[in-house]
Amino acid sequence: MQTYLYLSLTPEALIASMLSPEEFGNYLAVGTKKRTRGQAIFFELDAAKMDDYFPLHEIDEKCVPHPDGVPKRSVYLSIYRVLEHVPLDALQSLYLTTDDGRVLEIPQGTYIPEGESQLHLYQEICPVTPRIASHYSPKDFLEYVTDTSKPVSVPKLVFVELKLDELAIDPANGAANDLPYPNIDHLRDCLKGLHDDPKKATKTVIRTFQGELLFRTCKNGFFIGDKNNLLFYPFPSLDELNNKHYVWWRSALTVGLR
């Protein structure tokens, strides 16, 4: 049986498994007896591009089928500072799993910066989870947060940009009817503070993200990198979601409604 290596982001962990990405995502979300539900976000890794920081030698010993032939579902190799020590070139596809076990593969793509100046909303996913409003573009935001010469920083970061619609340009008066965020008035206040003070780089909207990510709020995609490198995983367009990934998309739209 083939052995896979995964970087789980929710929570952060390095896991070896004999399950394919779709099987692994389903396992993380609903378990083996379908008695639990929970969203999962993870990368598949190229083990050949990993260094010796992690105990990969344990994979051959521990990631073996059970006596009855059932594949080994998970062997945890690390649960602390994992993202920090995973080489960026080892990252393969990103997988988004809904809370009923539907898995969407997102290959790496090319980020094309937006031309207009506007406000942004970022949900940090790993290793920290605040929700941040900012003047910065995704690339500039990543450089800012991963600048380890500053006391408040992380060496690597995974985050997603969320939709703001009209609030990105006019936080005080822009329509927010289709934005399913809690406490819109607080979000407006944070954005307005940035809008009125161009010298302020960021504003924390939510200190700790404790719920599940509403995939329908993804604006453009997922970003990962450090101060010098940015990788981009583009979220599919609405047409692609409806025409190519309808089952996954239907499941994603019902998060929080089941």
| Adjacency order of strands within the sheet including 157-162 | 202-206, 131-134, 120-126, 157-162, 218-225, 230-234
* 248, pLDDT greater than 60: yes
Percent of the chain past pLDDT 70, that is, above it, reads 97
**pLDDT-derived band at 257, boundaries 50, 70, 90:** very low
Structure tokens at 151: 């006391």
Q: In which residue are the tokens 């453009």 written?
A: 220
Asked if residue 9 lies in contact with residue 2, where contact means CB atoms within 8 angstroms, the answer is no
Asked if residue 130 lies in contact with residue 209, where contact means CB atoms within 8 angstroms, the answer is yes
The pLDDT of residue 1 is: 83
Task: Report d(CA 89, CA 81) in Å as an integer.
Answer: 17
Helices vs. strands in the chain: H and E counts, helices first: 7, 12
The arithmetic mean of pLDDT across residues 151-171, rounded, is 96
**pLDDT-derived band at 188, boundaries 50, 70, 90:** very high
Q: What is the pTM of this model?
A: 0.94
Task: Report d(CA 70, CA 41) in Å as an integer.
Answer: 24
The pLDDT of residue 210 is: 76
**pLDDT-derived band at 59, boundaries 50, 70, 90:** very high
Task: Report d(CA 227, CA 88) in Å as an integer.
Answer: 12
Q: In which residue are the tokens 């161009």 written?
A: 198
- Label the pairing between strands 40-45 and 4-9: antiparallel
Neighbours of 171 (CB within 10 A): 22
Task: Report d(CA 103, CA 40) in Å as an integer.
Answer: 9
Give the list of residues 6+ apart from residue 189 with CB closer than 8 angstroms, or none.
none
The pLDDT of residue 258 is: 45
Asked if residue 74 lies in contact with residue 15, where contact means CB atoms within 8 angstroms, the answer is yes
* 250, pLDDT greater than 60: yes
Q: What is the DSSP letter of 193?
A: H
* 256, pLDDT greater than 70: no
The mean-pLDDT minimum among 15-19, 29-33, 83-87, 109-113 falls in 29-33
